[in-house]
Amino acid sequence: MSADVWTVKAALDWTVGYLGRKGDENPRLSAEWLLSEACELSRIQLYVSFDRPLTGDERDRLRDFVQRRGAGEPLQYITGEVGFRHITVKVRPGVLIPRPETEVLVSEALALLPAPERPRWVDPEPQEAPEEARPAEEALPSRDLGDDAPARADEAPAASDAGAPTAAADAATAADATADAADAAATAADAADAAVPSDEALRVADLCTGSGCIACSLAFEHPKASVVATDLSPAAVALAQENVAALGLEGRVGVLCCDLGEKIPDRLMGTFDLVVSNPPYVPTAVVAGLAPEVRDFEPALALDGGADGNDFVRRILPWAARALRPGAGFALELHETCLDAAANIARDLGFSDVRITCDLAGRPRVLTGRRPGAPAVADVR
């Protein structure tokens, strides 16, 4: 870009053309994202601000973004965040980018948990003042929610696809059922206990958490979910902890740096209500054929699932068989070519209700099952 004045429209048109020549599959969408990020405008605001000139700083940011995107870097790494179900999480190079198919995994995981009770609003009996004591023109008082009212709109828990309540009271109840988040920093064992402490909470283990999008979504959408999330990558653990803090879930989600469930104490075995994981699952021979922006930019540690894609399945499911309480379930996201073999592994380990669910593109994607024992909790769909 030259030193001439660049308006939003001129910058958008130039970026679309540049990215198109670089082989971007959707250059206009990429250009909108990058220009929005550079100018701190929404995509809608771009189109009502065509004549607005870019500042020098905005042009410098856009130039950097466009060069990175032209080299094939994923948009999410450039913008630094991605929307995932009802939350937005931070992302950065070195950690797998959350994908839409993983939202299906969260839906299936929520369906394995007991549905949260919906709060009922009980209107108290009005205490009317005597007629003569009430001014004729008195306006009706507004309803005082007191301590049940969220301090900010964004603190109210969102309703989930599994029917999660929106009342702050339920979130407070769940928070009371968890340990002080400060204790989570002491030791690995304390961190696990801080994440899964009480009889009131539903204990969840999220293995290979990456950005923490699964753990955070489960805690955000189910008011009684208390999650211990693990990852072998220190970069992923640091990012997951940032997302936990940014979403205000420190008392509901604890993050451990370890291999699968290695640092989760043995005393917690048999007490979990759910084990969920999006592990590395791409067969080794398939990794080389992935799209360049995935193969060349996202961490191989989070992609390669071994020769048949099921290396981690053979480690996670035996651990889940020990970790889950009778009747509790697991949910795994896997490669479309691996689901049948993975289902057989689950059945051989004694899991019941083993089921395969397709993703939004109709491809086999999620494996679920339950540890036999107590009657299974009814699915919520």
* pLDDT, tens digit (0-9, with 9 covering 90-100), for 127-151: 454 444 433 333 322 222 233 333 3
Which contiguous run of DSSP H or E holds residue 251?
A: none
User: Are the C-beta atoms of residues 251 and 226 closer than 8 Å to each other?
Assistant: no
Euclidean distance between CA atoms 243 and 217, whole angstroms: 11
3-state secondary structure of 287: helix
Q: What percent of the chain has pLDDT over 70?
A: 75
Side chain identity, residue 340:
D
3-state secondary structure of 373: coil
3-state secondary structure of 204: strand
Euclidean distance between CA atoms 257 and 324, whole angstroms: 21
Q: Which residue numbers belong to the known binding site?
A: 231, 278-281
Euclidean distance between CA atoms 337 and 292, whole angstroms: 21
**Closest by CA position to 200, among listed 227, 182, 175, 217:** 175
Q: What is the pLDDT of residues 288-310, one digit of tens each?
A: 999 988 999 999 999 999 999 99
What φ, ψ does residue 89 adopt, rounded to 5°? -120, 150
Interval 23-38 mean pLDDT: 92
In the predicted model, is pLDDT for residue 269 greater than 80?
yes
Q: Which residue numbers belong to the known binding site for S-adenosyl-L-methionine?
A: 231, 278
Amino acid 151: pLDDT = 34
User: Are the C-beta atoms of residues 53 and 5 closer than 8 Å to each other?
Assistant: yes
**Closest by CA position to 204, among listed 193, 212, 215, 194:** 215
pLDDT interval class at 3 (50, 70, 90): low
Torsion angle of the four alpha carbons 226, 203, 89, 213, in this order, in degrees rounded to the nearest 10: 180
| Whether this model's pTM surpasses 0.85 | no
Amino acid 137: pLDDT = 34
Amino acid 293: pLDDT = 87
Euclidean distance between CA atoms 224 and 231, whole angstroms: 23
Q: Which residue numbers belong to the known binding site for substrate?
A: 278-281
In the predicted model, is pLDDT for residue 349 greater than 60?
yes
* Distance separating the N- and C-terminal Cα atoms of the chain: 52
Least reliable range by pLDDT among 21-35, 128-142, 331-345:
128-142
pLDDT interval class at 314 (50, 70, 90): very high
Q: List Cα–Cα distances, 266 to 202, 263, 314, 323, in angstroms.
A: 18, 9, 20, 9
Euclidean distance between CA atoms 16 and 2, whole angstroms: 16
pLDDT interval class at 193 (50, 70, 90): low
